[in-house]
């Protein structure tokens, strides 16, 4: 990661402490990285659910991520969780944000990119959880091109 990506990650962590949210989520991923980067990581903060529709709980969240070549994304939006049983759950999110392409190969067509995610998770007795999620980054065809980027993420959830 380059200095800009590390600075963005450090600022996010400093201003979004555990006392302000319900859950930290850290993920590592193998993306279809256009730049040729080997991997990416992301850190998210999910607030307490604000809307409860019985089986579906919606809240707000924010995230920041970077890949090994220095491309970075920061954004925020709606996060959702739905229990399948006492331990299993489905998660989803849609987070518009700012994307910085570190190389010409990493260009996704716009600085505005939306990260969407759908995953399946398992919660442990201590409140932490693991999930496997598929994600997509796209500018919804508002940029000069929209190649998008897809990935699979292994995510660790820690509730507070």
Q: How far apart (Å, rounded) are the C-alpha atoms in residues 70 and 65? A: 10
Domains of the chain: 3-13+23-36+50-159 (2.40.160.20)
pLDDT of residue 105: 86
Would the pTM of this model clear 0.75, i.e. be above it?
A: yes
3-class DSSP state of 138: strand
Reply yes or no on whether the pLDDT at 54 is more than 70.
yes
Segment 19-31 mean pLDDT? 80
Segment 46-72 mean pLDDT? 93
Residue 14 neighbours by CB under 8 Å, 6+ apart: none
Considering only residues 81 and 34, tell me which one the structure prediction assigns the higher pLDDT: 81
pLDDT in tens, 125-151: 999 999 999 999 999 999 999 988 888
Average pLDDT, the chain: 87
**Count of CB atoms situated within 10 Å of the CB of 66:** 24
pLDDT in tens, 85-116: 999 999 999 999 999 999 888 899 999 999 99
Residues 59, 22: contact at Cβ < 8 Å?
yes
Reply yes or no on whether the pLDDT at 19 is more than 50.
no
């Amino acid at each position: 990661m380059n200095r800009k990506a590390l600075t963005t990650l450090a600022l996010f962590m400093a201003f979004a402490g555990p006392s302000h949210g319900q859950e930290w989520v850290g993920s590592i991923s193998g993306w279809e990285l256009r730049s040729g980067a080997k991997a990416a990581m992301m850190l998210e903060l999910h607030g307490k659910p604000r809307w409860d529709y019985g089986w579906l709980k919606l809240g707000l969240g924010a995230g920041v991520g970077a890949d090994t070549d220095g491309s970075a994304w920061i954004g925020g939006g709606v996060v959702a969780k739905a229990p399948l049983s006492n331990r299993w759950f489905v998660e989803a999110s849609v987070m518009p944000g700012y994307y910085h392409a570190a190389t010409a190969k990493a260009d996704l067509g716009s600085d505005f990119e939306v990260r969407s995610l759908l995953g399946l998770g398992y919660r442990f007795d201590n409140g932490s959880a693991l999930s496997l999620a598929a994600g997509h980054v796209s500018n919804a065809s508002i940029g000069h091109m929209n190649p998008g980027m897809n990935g699979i993420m292994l995510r660790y959830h820690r509730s507070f």
